[in-house]
Structure 1
Amino acid sequence: MLKEHLVIVFAMEHYNPLGLIRTLGRCGIHPVYIAIKGRGAASSKSKYIKKVHYVDTAEEGYQVLLEEYSSMPEKPFVLTTDDDVQSILDMHYSELKDRFIMYNAGADGRVTEYMNKKRILEIAEKHGLKVLPTVTTDRGVVPENLVYPVITKAISPVEADWKKNVFICESEEELREAFEQIACQKVLIQKFVEKKNELCLDGFTIDKGQKSFIPMGTNYNYLIRGYYSPYMTAFNFENEDILSSLDSMLAEIGFEGIFSIEFIIDQDDTCYFSEVNFRNSTWNYIAAFIDMPVPVLWCEAMLTGRIDKNWKRTFPENFTAMTEPIDYKIRVEGGRVDLAQWLVDFKTTDVPFYLDPEDPEPFRAMVNNWRVFS
């Protein structure tokens, strides 16, 4: 059934679409790739791609999507890995819904609405999830009664260079200094906790959010203050209270698509909801290694209208994954471990995000342009 539909991956060059493309390819689905040029090409080197369109911007890619693929006999699937690409499709949902099967929340701009960090925190708290104290302010305006330390963030992931707006501030003086470097006009300021770990849950929804499948969680194997780690362990997540809250939240939003949901774990093991990424995440590639190809299962579920409980698989104990060049830079060049220990971890990791002997060219491209990818 699925092979009658073209699958289009619309994404920036990155290891996230590489995992997505490989997941599809191993299931016999060779996607078209609308590749937004990044610092280097690796994912577009995969043997599983049917055709590549290289574009300079998401807007140019959107025009390729319309001009080349909007009149197919069967509606193509469009799978995204980037917030800005997902937002463009979301803002044009009414124009696209009869031409493509894509992640959506049933109305123009509704997914983008919940990309707003303040908005998603509000609805998460409404559905029983714990959230850290958070305020929004204009850049340069220090809210009253802040308890330090705090962390600053862009209000939305579609802000230009949003990651550069992240600062951990121990005092009002440090916050004022951060404002001088922050680019976004609206700033989210949140209580900062020294995390014990992070939790990321990967899955998908169909039927306007009424049915969900969340087969995988990940924790990080070492911590980076205020950021994620490129070396992790995957497992089956079974906390029914959290899963029930997520189900009701996603149903209210009306989202159908692939997602990842992030939590901060405090030192006392409290899970604080952080955000939802309304697009394919890098980490769900891990599930393909135990016969749970999340993107393929979502496409199938969208066509049949059902989620089969038999799709769920059990992760082996200590099932690890690694983003090789970034992990090497942080741990070896950063002095956390010596090269010998890193090589042991690299050789024994269950899921390397670049290395694949059956699809070697992306790994070679990464090695040949190491500094770009690390």
Structure 2
Amino acid sequence: MNNKVIIFGDDCVNSLGLVQSLGREGVETIAVLKCRRSTLVKASKYAGEIICIADYSEAIDMLLSRFQKENNVLIIPSGDGPALTLEKYKDCLSKNFIFEGIIKKGTLSHYMRKDNQIALAKKHGFNIPVSIKIKRGDIIADNIPLPCIIKPLISCEGDKRDIRILDKIEDVRNHINHNLQFTEEVIIQQFIEKDYEYDMMGCSYTNGEVYIPLSDRMVKFNHKLAETSTVSYIEPLDPEIQLEVDNIERLMKDIGFVGLFSVEFMHNKKDNKIYFTEINFRNDGENSFIVHGGVNLPYLHYCDMMGHPLKEYNPIKESKKYIWEGVHFSGLIQGDESFIDWIKDLCGCDGFLYYFKDDRKPFFAQFYNKIKSKLHL
């Protein structure tokens, strides 16, 4: 049983990526997913048993009962909510389970707040956009940075539908005081006029070492879907991003995080600087791009946690173009880009986020599920 890994999260790309990544290396998974029934993860040929739950806390009693005679059962969370749930119940889980988390300074719940992430990033030398923490009902000063982007203070307690890019102070006040639907606290942040973003994915090992094999440089975005990336280049680390990689390594070692992570940056085309935006202390939805690039980070995390030798990979040595196909197609349907531009994006594309030659069904399932949902079937 110890060879099996529990994937804890939602029926989404984050969970799917973990199931596929581990399955490709022969690791069986049990997916514990917050959904009524799985329509995405189950499409993968690597999907094993799937257990559907109503909420994350419900999973705890089930896991303790089912694995009460087991030791060192690995749980990998695929989202912020599952990671925080594991941390909340770590005392009762620690006898039977192992999972990622903070082992030195602070807690995940502390570092998932964007204000605390910003303070940590400043400590380790990152460039930070002007940022102000605000709660609904607070007085909003006239001198906030404009244009600005408004984001939930804690991602898993908010929703992308609360994110706004605004350039007038009256619109900022109105949105925070009257239009927030999912959160009470937000970060107002200087809007960076970017030409691209970086999503730096890696793994922090139990021995304190940090491994970041490649960069994910995102060059196009769906502006009607909270700036979610559509076109990315998976590339070897270059001098521009290497300084940020060094800072990430120091940051992770400082707090003692063990597990999968991603750190996001924006490149400001006006001043040619790279700005920190946020840290995700869990598997990233775009991790499959790194797998396409030749490195299986979830499997390395599995080997590290289970005490197995780490597999050696040979990352790609030249840039590869990939598309997050579902978000990219949504941009076309929503009118975010023209059909001609959409076709141009596909030219020279080396692959897609969901598509693996040995596991094609999830690629088609995502579109089928969207169509079915739109038709209310």
The normalised TM-score by structure 2 is 0.88
Kindly report the root-mean-square deviation, in angstroms, between the aligned alpha carbons of the 2 structures: 2.7
**Letter aligned with residue 284 of structure 2:** S
CA distance in 1, matches of 2:202, 2:210: 7
Indicate if the aligned counterparts of 2:201 and 2:215 stay in contact, CA closer than 8 A: yes
**Deviations along 1:194-249, whole A, 9 cap, x unmatched?**
212111100010237x2100112112231345522122111122443222211111
Corresponding position of 2:232: 232
CA distance in 1, matches of 2:331, 2:38: 20
Secondary structure of 2:291's counterpart equals helix
**Letter aligned with residue 236 of structure 1:** P
Corresponding position of 1:119: 116
Corresponding position of 1:263: 265
> Residue 314 and residue 254 in structure 1: after superposition, are their counterparts in 2 closer, same or farther (change >3 A)?
same
CA distance in 2, matches of 1:94, 1:191: 40
- Is it true that 1:320 corresponds to 2:355 in the alignment? no
Q: What is the CA distance between 1:133 and its match in structure 2?
A: 1.1
CA distance in 2, matches of 1:167, 1:355: 31
% identical equivalent positions = 23
Corresponding position of 1:193: 192
CA distance in 2, matches of 1:113, 1:373: 36
Secondary structure of 1:28's counterpart equals coil
- Is it true that 1:95 corresponds to 2:92 in the alignment? yes
Indicate if the aligned counterparts of 2:7 and 2:15 stay in contact, CA closer than 8 A: yes
Indicate if the aligned counterparts of 1:12 and 1:38 stay in contact, CA closer than 8 A: no
The normalised TM-score by structure 1 is 0.88
Secondary structure of 1:327's counterpart equals helix
Corresponding position of 1:133: 130
Unpaired segments of 5 or more residues in structure 1?
none
- Structure 1 residue corresponding to 2:291, chosen from 279, 284, 288: 288
Corresponding position of 1:206: 205
Indicate if the aligned counterparts of 2:124 and 2:251 stay in contact, CA closer than 8 A: yes
CA distance in 2, matches of 1:373, 1:352: 22
> Residue 101 and residue 360 in structure 1: after superposition, are their counterparts in 2 closer, same or farther (change >3 A)?
same
CA distance in 2, matches of 1:305, 1:119: 34
Indicate if the aligned counterparts of 2:202 and 2:211 stay in contact, CA closer than 8 A: yes
> Which 4+ stretches in 1 moved above 4 angstroms?
305-308, 341-348
**Letter aligned with residue 304 of structure 2:** A
- Is it true that 1:34 corresponds to 2:36 in the alignment? no
Indicate if the aligned counterparts of 2:32 and 2:53 stay in contact, CA closer than 8 A: yes
> Residue 136 and residue 372 in structure 1: after superposition, are their counterparts in 2 closer, same or farther (change >3 A)?
farther
Indicate if the aligned counterparts of 1:320 and 1:351 stay in contact, CA closer than 8 A: yes
CA distance in 2, matches of 1:99, 1:288: 30
Indicate if the aligned counterparts of 2:222 and 2:230 stay in contact, CA closer than 8 A: no
CA distance in 1, matches of 2:283, 2:263: 11
